[in-house]
Amino acid sequence: MSPESSRQPLPFEPPKNRKKQSKKSSSAPKIKATEEKNSSNVNQSKNISNQKSQKVRGENSIPEVVSRRMISRMVLLSGTPLLFSLLTFVFSYFIIINDIFTVPNQAVLLVSTGFFGLSVIGLSYGLFSASWDEDKKGSLLGWQELKINFQRMKEAWKEGKSKS
């Protein structure tokens, strides 16, 4: 049994066509009209499947306005602590080289790790604190949006568990 057949597909994973294509026979070519008819049927079925996949993507995708709002918040709330984390090494190097005072290695590591942790938290907060409504911009801190969006996620998780 192949590993692909034993696993369950993810909800956003596109369906795969698992039908094996039959081997082409080496018999003489059929009538040209029949080939044209078959090729037009294939083109029509491809167009229909492309339209269906576009509808599915459109219904389940995040609107562009909301996506940009999320990204801008995530960059700000995650990028700033990440920058501070990297600057911690530069700043401590400057202090040690110029003999301003001795800095323990553990302090540099803890401060840098703390900023990295804030960066990870900033990613999540930036995602959930953005308004998911296309028409509403949301507040500056996004505390109300965080509550609403986290509640939506909990409900979606519950629905997902009940369907399983």
- What are the structure tokens assigned to 45, written together? 């079925």
Give the domain ranges of the chain: 64-163
pLDDT tens string 118-163: 999 999 999 999 988 888 888 888 999 999 998 988 988 998 888 8
pLDDT tens string 3-38: 444 555 544 445 555 444 444 444 444 445 555 555
CB 152 within 8 A of CB 128: no
pLDDT of the residue at 20:
44
- φ, ψ for residue 137, nearest 5 deg: -80, -35
Say what the pTM is: 0.58
Secondary structure (DSSP) of 97-139: HTTSS---HHHHHHHHHHHHHHHHHHHHHHHHHS--SSS----
For the ranges 31-40, 77-86, 88-97, 125-134, the lowest mean pLDDT is seen at 31-40
Q: Residue 59: exposed, middle, or buried by beta-carbon count in 10 A (0-12, 13-18, 19+)?
A: exposed
